[in-house]
Amino acid sequence: MIKIDRSRCIYCGACVGVCPVLALTLKETFVEYNEKKCINCGNCAKACPMKAIDFKK
Amino acid sequence: MISRSDIVKTDYDVIVVGAGPGGSFAAKTAAKAGASVLLIDRRKELGAPVRCGEGLGSHWLDELGLKISPKAISAEISGSVLYSPNLKRAVKIQNPETRGYVIDRKVFDKDLAIDAGRAGAEVIVKTEVYDVTKEGGKVCGVKAYSMGDRLEATCKVLIAADGGESTVARLAGINSTASLYDTDFGVEYEMVNVECEDLIEIYFSKSAAPRGYVWVFPKGKDVANVGVGIGGLEKGNAVEYLDTFIKNNERFKNAQTVAIKGGLIPVGEPLKDLVADGIMVVGTAAHQVDPIHGGGMALAMEAGGMAGEVAAKCAQEGNVDKQHLMEYDSKWRKKVEPKLMRRLLLRKVLEKLDDDDFNTIFENLTDDDVDRLIKGDYKPVVKKVLIKRPQLLKVLSALL
């Protein structure tokens, strides 16, 4: 599961592009996370250019 | 209040999702060809937030029939300067082909959407496509949230131009998920009190920007986009590299950040299929990005123009299955893909080199050599490098 720090997020959508199961949706000023779809791959946290995503297995 | 579903028709020849350069170009081209077009964007303000270095070569203006309004130009650029990892060598390239602009995407993108609107496309902002509708396996429309309404619109051809997220193509069943290996992740600060010339600056360094580079794109005499892109499998996150680069560089002592921009940059192969029944994918959403410098704007507009033209024709003729839409795929692969694949080959070689290799290469590189590399003529340069560093034979032989 992940935690997105909205105070760091610049809503660039990089995390959305690498999510293989569309568990993330880019909204206008934030990213929406659907925990039910998430497969815990951690790609989003690795991708985030702002280090705004905390990933715990 | 008039509901959004009252102002939008429900059936179009072409629906374009994403009003970036690729999407707006596609919408404009399709509308000019006589198609009924709806251009949808998620954002309330087109062009923002910016996720781009904002550089655009001026040769593209002729090639794309593009006019840039003076307001959309932040700075004119005469060429590029590339720095070796040890900063001992700088190679400058300045010729008619390296001229260009650093533009203001907020103005530029909006201008392109205005062009699409003037050409007859209906434009609707603050509208988020959350699903793609299908009939008998063929894409035939979208479902969207729009200002408190749910919109459903049908179309003969859907053009997915929604950028790096590439959500629309994936909702339609095309696998466009970005892989960490074939994607760079970048962040940049727009900074004031940064002295610059009219040159794009590129810094190669494995420690400062593994599998990517650091850039300074001037937006004026003392304003620049300063950014870092790194490979997706490298350690850490881009912002850590950018902060380190700025902290360790006297030049940014008085620099103030006035904007933060970022995003993903596909630097691998373009999608295997740019079309499926009833749908085309364009621009960064289709991974149509230069694998060396990561630029995507011009390529998106070029592809958008091709897609818009084919979409309008196919919609009007009523043949919108994959086989007919393939005309866009084939045209694009014939004209653009070979150049990109050649540059992908170079990227895959460069990523195997360490900073010492780069320093040696730079010591022996003339301005003309860099020009040759840019044009895809690798052989003479590789031969020269191998004389000085024969141990690179195995790595560099791919370019011979």
* ipTM for the whole complex: 0.98
Q: What number of other Cβ atoms are within 10 A of residue B180's Cβ?
A: 18
DSSP state at residue B294? -
CATH of B4-50+106-179+268-340, one of 3.50.50.60, 3.20.20.30, 3.40.50.720, 3.20.20.70: 3.50.50.60
pLDDT along chain B (400 residues), means of 10: 65 97 98 98 95 94 96 96 95 91 97 98 96 97 92 96 98 98 98 97 96 96 97 98 97 98 97 98 98 96 98 98 98 97 96 94 89 89 92 93
Name the residue among B166, B171, B186 with its Cβ closest to that of A17.
Answer: B166
Query: Tell me, what's the pLDDT at B371?
Result: 85
Query: Tell me, what's the pLDDT at B113?
Result: 98
Report how far residue B203's alpha carbon sits from residue B152's, in angstroms, rounded to the nearest whole number. Answer: 48
Tell me, rounded to whole angstroms, the distance of Cα B312 from its chain centroid: 24
Number of A to B CB contacts under 8 A, please give it: 90
A25 touches chain B (CB under 8 A): yes
Segments forming the whole domain that contains residue A13: 2-55
Q: Measured between CA atoms, how close is B68 to chain A, in angstroms?
A: 25
Q: What percent of chain B has pLDDT over 90?
A: 92
Cβ–Cβ of B237/A50 closer than 8 Å? Answer: yes
Half-sphere exposure of B310 (CA within 13 A, CB side): 28
A28, two tokens:
């206008």
Phi and psi at residue B171, to the nearest 5°: -60, -30
Closest CA in chain A for residue B266: A17
Tell me, rounded to whole angstroms, the distance of Cα B328 from its chain centroid: 19
Domain borders along chain B are: 4-50+106-179+268-340, 75-101+180-266, 343-399
Could you write out the DSSP letters of every residue in A1-47?
Answer: -EEE-TTT-----HHHHH-TT--EEE-SSSEEE-TTT-----HHHHH
The stretch A30-36 carries a mean pLDDT of 98
Name B178's Cβ contacts closer than 8 Å, sequence gap at least 6: A17, A18, A47, B164, B166, B232, B264, B266, B287
Number of domains in chain A: 1
The A residues from 33 to 52 touching B (CB cutoff 8 Å) are 43, 46-51
* pLDDT tens, residue by residue, B307-347: 999 999 999 999 999 999 999 999 999 999 999 999 999 99
Interface test with B, best of A4, A9, A10 (most B CBs within 10 A): A10
Cβ–Cβ of A49/B171 closer than 8 Å? Answer: no
B138-146 and B213-218 strand pairing: unpaired
Could you write out the DSSP letters of every residue in B103-166?
Answer: E-HHHHHHHHHHHHHHTT-EEE-SEEEEEEEEETTEEEEEEEEETTEEEEEEEEEEEE--GGG-
Cβ–Cβ of A17/B186 closer than 8 Å? Answer: no
Question: Are B270 and B175 within 8 A, CB to CB?
Answer: no
At A3, the pLDDT band (50, 70, 90 cuts) reads very high
Cβ–Cβ of A18/B261 closer than 8 Å? Answer: no
What Cα–Cα distance (Å) separates residue B1 from each residue in B5, B7, B41, B128, B149?
A: 12, 11, 21, 20, 12
Cβ–Cβ of A10/B167 closer than 8 Å? Answer: no
Chain B residues within 8 A of A53 when measuring between CB atoms: none
Cβ–Cβ of A51/B239 closer than 8 Å? Answer: yes
Q: Measured between CA atoms, how close is B164 to chain A, in angstroms?
A: 6
Name B176's Cβ contacts closer than 8 Å, sequence gap at least 6: B166, B169, B170, B271, B281, B285, B286, B287
For the CA atoms of B176, B180, B182, B185, the dihedral, rounded to the nearest 10 degrees, stands at: 100
Closest CA in chain A for residue B234: A46
Q: Which CATH class is domain B75-101+180-266?
A: alpha beta
Closest CA in chain B for residue A16: B165
Report how far residue B343's alpha carbon sits from residue B358's, in angstroms, rounded to the nearest whole number. Answer: 17
The B residues from 157 to 216 touching A (CB cutoff 8 Å) are 163-167, 170-171, 177-180, 183, 185-187
Chain A residues within 8 A of B186 when measuring between CB atoms: 49
User: Residue B40: what residue type?
Assistant: I
Using the predicted structure, report yes or no on whether residue A13 has a pLDDT greater than 70: yes
Chain A residues within 8 A of B233 when measuring between CB atoms: 46
Q: Measured between CA atoms, how close is A32 to chain B, in angstroms?
A: 12
Q: What is the CATH number of the domain that holds A19?
A: 3.30.70.20
Interface test with B, best of A2, A8, A11, A12 (most B CBs within 10 A): A12
Element (H, E) at B292: none
